Amino acid sequence: MEDFSKINTNIAFNVGPKIEVLDNHSPVYLIEYYEWFNNDWALIYSNHSIKPFHWFKHNKAFRTKWRIKIWGLDNDLPILLTQHTYNEVDKNILLRFDYPSYKVQKVWFEKSIKFMEDTGSKIYVESKYADQLKKDFDTKIVVLNKISNYNLFLKLNEIYATYEIQRHEIQTSSFNWWESDAIFENHADHYKSYYHPNDWIKLSNDELIDDILKL
């Protein structure tokens, strides 16, 4: 049997979960995205043609409980190489605030402090009101002005997950009594968009962060 113990992968959740396969033990890999649903792991997406040293990213950008599996081939049978379950404890999480009002961002920041305490993660907040937030809050959260080189920042700071806290695209369809107007992945839970699990048109600005981070 092939020794797969040294398989090298990179999995991060920066505006959607990204899987990088930095390995060539198998000629082709199967990657799977699972989400916690009905007390079990529902498979919501898979791709069975990932070549060595390639990456794939799922669109779903809001915070949810992910499990990712990477399979290889061993004697022509699928073999599970690695599995990763989303876990924020002791991880670096970046929240990118984007809203014109300081009042709203202040509320988001308060919720971010609670989020940090609840999850045991280390939080970075990017905000155009960084200076004011630093002045108003005495907290362990790292507050940043606009990040100039985002990819480099993620790498240097080993950011595990990034969430864009803002009101995303305008909803086009408001109401559908057959409930099929949402993203409906493999018949697991359905969502309003890849950015908001719920119908954000009905949410106040303060509540947007609750929706995106599923607080």
Partner 1 sequence: MSTIIGIQLGSHDTTIAVVKDGQVLAIYEEEKLTGIKSCYNVYALPTIGLEKLKKEYNIDLENCDYVALSNFYVRDFVKKNAGIISNKAFQVSHHISHTLGAYLTSGMEGKVISFSHDGKGNRSRGKVLLCEDGNYEEVHTQPISLTASIAGLWASTTHYLGWKMLKDEGKVVGLAAHGKHNERFYNFMKSCIYYDGELNFKPNNYEALFHYVCDNVYKPEGVFQNDNLRADFAFTLEEITEELMKELFIDMKKRFPDYNKICLSGGLFANVKLNMYLNELGLFDEIYIHPAMSDSGLALGAALKVANDLGEVKKPLKLKNVFLGEQHSSEDWLQTVLSEPKLEFEPMSYEKVGELINEGYVVGLFIGRTEYGPRALGNRSIVVKPTDKQTHEYLNKKLKRTEIMPFAPAVLEEYSEEIFNIQSSKYTAEFMTLCYDTKKEWLDKIPAVVHHMDGTARPQIVNKNNNPSFHNIISAYHKISGYPVVLNTSLNAHGEPINNYPHQVIKHLLDDSIDYIVTENIIIKKRN
Q: Quote the least distance from Cβ 165 to partner 1, whole Å.
A: 28
Residues 93-112 that bind partner 1 (CB under 8 A): none
Residues 179-198 that bind partner 1 (CB under 8 A): 179-180, 186-188
Residue pair 70/31 in contact (Cβ under 8 Å)? The answer is yes
Count residues near partner 1 (CB under 8 A): 27
Q: Which of 30, 29, 4, 34 is nearest to 17 (CA)?
A: 34
Q: In the set 15, 17, 21, 32, which binds partner 1 (CB under 8 A)? A: 32
Give the residue with the Cβ less far from partner 1, 48 or 214.
48
Residue pair 177/202 in contact (Cβ under 8 Å)? The answer is no
Give the residue with the Cβ less far from partner 1, 7 or 42.
42
Give the residue with the Cβ less far from partner 1, 48 or 135.
48
Give the residue with the Cβ less far from partner 1, 36 or 194.
36
Write the interaction track for partner 1 spanning residues 35-64; mark x where CB under 8 A is met and - where it is not.
--xx-xxxxx-x-xx---------------
Buried residues in 168-199 as b, exposed as e (16+ CB within 10 A): beeeeeeeeeeeebbeebeebbebbbbbbbbb
Q: Quote the least distance from Cβ 84 to partner 1, whole Å.
A: 15
Task: Output the 3-class SS for 85-105.
Answer: ECCCCCCEEEEEECCCCHHHH
Indicate the pairing of strand 159-165 with strand 92-97. Answer: parallel
The C-alpha atoms of residue 209 and residue 97 are separated, in whole angstroms, by 9
CA distances from 72 to 2, 32, 52, 67, 187 (A): 10, 12, 10, 17, 26
Q: Quote the least distance from Cβ 129 to partner 1, whole Å.
A: 41
7 binds partner 1 (CB under 8 A): no
Residues that bind partner 1 (CB under 8 A): 27-28, 30, 32, 37-38, 40-44, 46, 48-49, 69, 71, 73, 76-78, 176, 178-180, 186-188
